[in-house]
Amino acid sequence: MLPGLTAASPRTPPLTVFMTADAVGGVWQYALDLALDLDRRGIGVTLAVLGPEPSADQLRTARTIRGLDLRVMSVPLDWTALTRGEVEAAAWRVAEEAARSGAGLVHLNSPALAAIATFPAPVVAVAHSCVATWWAAMRASPLPPDLAWRAELAGEGYRRADAVLAPTRAFAQATAAAYGLTAPPLVVPNGRRSPAERGHRTPGGAGPSPFAFTAGRLWDEGKNAAVLDRIAARLAPRPFLAAGPLDGPNAACFVPRHLRSLGRLSDQDMARWLAGAPVYVSAARYEPFGLGVLEAASAGCALVLSDIPTFRELWDEAAIFLPADDDAGFARTIEQVVGDGAIRARLGAAAKARAEAFTVEAMGAGVLAAYGRVLEAAPRAGASA
């Protein structure tokens, strides 16, 4: 047994976890996959959803997890709230919901909440992304006031949490540097269930062959969609398809001129497109992990990625890397890979082999180890001596 996670008995009820999430990006997939793994291990999860409400297909996916208690909170995220007061009100509402759940541990995927509210159980916070590290990757100037107060909350949340996790060493180090943390967060790489594990059939030939493909929050400047659009212009008439929302909850918007936008796709539709074995492209300038890349790699897609620290850490020798703003270099490389079946097959096999290390089970084991250390230091009520 992991420290702090002893077998249940009449005197020691099984651990339950109160977790926050949002339905805007990769945190949703992370939370559902982790909740499923915890459920399989006999750990119940209450999932409090902040920000915009989940879509119908997102809700259907969540309801397939037997032990998941889903609660849609209708409160703003810290990075979309208009004022600090809105974040403070949201934090106390979430803390009250955590208390009502009776959970023995609180897992915050929005660490800023820990800066404000007092939670009824030990807190594990996860650094998925934040305005300070985003700004450091995207700008050379100091944080503007509207982002500075959000960064202050995130930093204080990290310091108050009983443990902080991050999905890569590169992002853990960037987080520690941005907030002056005495030690970097503990690294627990993200994992993702394969399409087969998620119950999706993935027949081949889903799209034009061969073609280029990308996925993500296209409205987020860190994804560098403007460069992808220029790449698409250079590739024409070869298709370059882009999955993901064009409008963000923070009023950001991207209008493609050359990319073929597919909009936000369900898990099943995403699996169908990836089954066509496209060349998967990301020119991101900021990416703490990149679940879209992992999904493509798991499907055996060849990867052409921006040369940023997180991608190097995860995919070195399993992808081709180029400078993030080299649209001409990206276009030449994509054409080369698309036009050579042997290169495409070799890169796809290398990516798929690397992806096998990033399983949901490995992620769950790493998160549980962190839970155990926290609970050992501050045992939950009812734990035996």
Q: Could you give the CA distance from residue 56 to residue 132 in angstroms, rounded to a whole number? A: 32
Q: Is residue 206 part of a domain?
A: no
**349 and 369 together in one domain:** no
Q: The CATH number of the domain where 245 resides is what?
A: 3.40.50.2000
**266 and 363 together in one domain:** no
Q: Per residue in 104-150, pLDDT tens?
A: 999 999 999 999 999 999 999 999 999 999 999 999 999 999 999 99
The mean per-residue pLDDT over the stretch 356-364 comes to: 96
**176 and 279 together in one domain:** no
**229 and 186 together in one domain:** no
Q: Is the pLDDT of residue 271 over 80?
A: yes
Cα torsion 271, 327, 27, 159 to 10°: value is 160
Q: Is residue 28 part of a domain?
A: yes
Q: Per residue in 162-197, pLDDT tens?
A: 999 999 999 999 999 999 999 999 999 999 876 666
Going by C-alpha positions, the residue among 298, 266, 210 that lies closest to residue 61 is: 266
pLDDT of residue 201: 53
**279 and 293 together in one domain:** yes
User: Under 8 Å CB-to-CB from 24, ≥6 apart: which residues?
Assistant: 51, 52, 77, 217, 248, 249
The side-by-side arrangement of strands in the sheet containing 16-22 is 68-72, 44-50, 16-22, 105-108, 123-126, 163-166, 186-187
The mean per-residue pLDDT over the stretch 51-70 comes to: 93
Q: Is the pLDDT of residue 12 over 80?
A: no
pLDDT of residue 10: 45
Q: Is residue 203 part of a domain?
A: no
Q: Is residue 384 part of a domain?
A: no
Average pLDDT, the chain: 92
Q: Is the pLDDT of residue 14 over 90?
A: no
Q: Is residue 202 part of a domain?
A: no
**168 and 62 together in one domain:** yes
C-alpha of 42 from chain center: 24
Q: Into how many domains does the chain fold? A: 2
Q: Is 258 exposed, middle or buried (0-12, 13-18, 19+ CB in 10 A)?
A: middle
**176 and 246 together in one domain:** no
Residue 105 CA: distances (Å) to CA of 10, 65, 99, 225, 351: 19, 19, 10, 38, 35
pLDDT of residue 342: 95
3-state class (DSSP) for residue 115: helix
Q: Is residue 2 part of a domain?
A: no
**165 and 20 together in one domain:** yes
| Residue for token pair 């006031």 | 145
Residue 136 CA: distances (Å) to CA of 23, 24, 33, 174, 319: 25, 22, 30, 9, 25
The mean per-residue pLDDT over the stretch 151-159 comes to: 97
Q: Is the pLDDT of residue 209 over 70?
A: no
Q: Could you give the CA distance from residue 192 to residue 198 in angstroms, rounded to a whole number? A: 10
Share of the chain above pLDDT 90, in %: 87
Q: Is residue 55 part of a domain?
A: yes
pTM, two decimals, is 0.91
**173 and 259 together in one domain:** no
The mean per-residue pLDDT over the stretch 30-36 comes to: 96
pLDDT of residue 343: 96
**28 and 177 together in one domain:** yes
The half-sphere exposure of 335 on its side-chain side, counting CA atoms within 13 A, is 14
Boundaries of domain holding 349 = 212-355
3-state class (DSSP) for residue 49: strand
User: Under 8 Å CB-to-CB from 165, ≥6 apart: which residues?
Assistant: 124, 125, 126, 127, 185, 186, 187, 188, 366, 367, 370
In this structure, how many other beta carbons lie within 10 angstroms of the beta carbon of residue 343?
Answer: 16
Q: Is the pLDDT of residue 219 over 90?
A: yes
**67 and 114 together in one domain:** yes
Q: Is residue 326 part of a domain?
A: yes
Q: Per residue in 294-351, pLDDT tens?
A: 999 999 999 999 999 999 999 999 999 999 999 999 999 999 999 999 999 999 999 9
**254 and 274 together in one domain:** yes
